[in-house]
């Protein structure tokens, strides 16, 4: 089985692309969903977060108070590194286990990692990297449609990610997501056929 690492800047359309690949029967493992699962309630990761950051970051049900943590990480960049030090190894292990449990006949799987290049943690798991691309203005417009994300926080998140040109230079494959959903779906259908053949 081959693994495609799917990445792109915030607002590039990773979730939409993952859904379209899933419609072709491709297994999708999303590290954002893993991170949410790890911080949804009491867990070893949440115990570490409480110990490192304090009880004010933990909701009564034991889950992470995401809005509080997002604001804290925005104000103190070193806090982001401490949080990633706790979460990233656990996310990697869960992603690796999920891939290992896929059926043996699986041709390829999609591993969605927003910070794939930035962390460098997934080189051992992915065979090719697919970057979803759109310009920064499009990214920002999409991000500002999300509840709870200000322009200031969105800019801070974008600053933590590789610049667009650096991502494109490192990519094995690129999906342009400036157009409509139909155009995107056609690109994905073509890529899916290439990945199934795997004539690289």
pLDDT at 139: 84
Binding residues for ATP: 11-16
Q: Which CATH class is domain 1-27+102-200?
A: alpha beta
List Cβ neighbours of 182 (8 Å cut-off, separation of 6 or more). none
pLDDT at 161: 87
pLDDT averaged over every residue in the chain: 92
Mean pLDDT value of segment 138-150: 83
Higher pLDDT residue, 75 or 170? 170
List Cβ neighbours of 145 (8 Å cut-off, separation of 6 or more). none
Domain-wise residue ranges, the chain: 1-27+102-200, 32-92
pTM of the shown model: 0.90
pLDDT at 159: 82
What is the token pair recorded at 156?
A: 């801070």
Mean pLDDT value of segment 135-156: 83
Binding residues: 11-16
* CB half-sphere exposure, 108, CA atoms < 13 A: 22
Mean pLDDT value of segment 82-111: 96
Band of pLDDT at residue 150, cut at 50, 70 and 90: confident
pLDDT at 89: 94
Ordered alpha helix ranges (H), 101-180: 116-119, 136-143, 151-160, 164-170
pLDDT at 157: 81
Element (H, E) at 110: strand 108-112
Mean pLDDT is lowest, of 7-11, 76-80, 105-109, 114-118, for: 76-80
């Amino acid at each position: 089985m081959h693994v495609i690492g799917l990445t792109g800047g915030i607002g590039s359309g990773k979730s939409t692309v993952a859904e379209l690949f899933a419609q072709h029967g491709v297994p999708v493992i999303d590290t954002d969903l893993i991170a949410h699962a790890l911080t949804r309630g009491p867990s070893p990761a949440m115990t570490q977060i409480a110990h490192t950051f304090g009880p004010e970051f933990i909701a009564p049900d034991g889950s992470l108070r995401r809005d509080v943590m997002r604001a804290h990480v925005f104000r103190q960049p070193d806090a982001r590194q401490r949080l990633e030090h706790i979460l990233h190894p656990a996310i990697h292990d869960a992603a690796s286990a999920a891939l290992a449990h896929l059926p043996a006949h699986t041709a390829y799987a999609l591993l969605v990692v927003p910070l794939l290049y930035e962390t460098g943690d997934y080189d051992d798991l992915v065979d090719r990297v697919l970057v979803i691309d759109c310009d920064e203005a499009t990214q920002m417009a999409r991000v500002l449609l999300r509840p709870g994300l200000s322009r200031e926080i969105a800019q801070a998140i974008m600053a933590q990610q590789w610049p667009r040109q650096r991502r494109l230079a490192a990519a094995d494959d690129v999906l342009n997501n400036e157009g409509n959903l139909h155009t995107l779906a056609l690109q994905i259908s073509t890529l899916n056929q290439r990945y199934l053949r795997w004539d690289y």
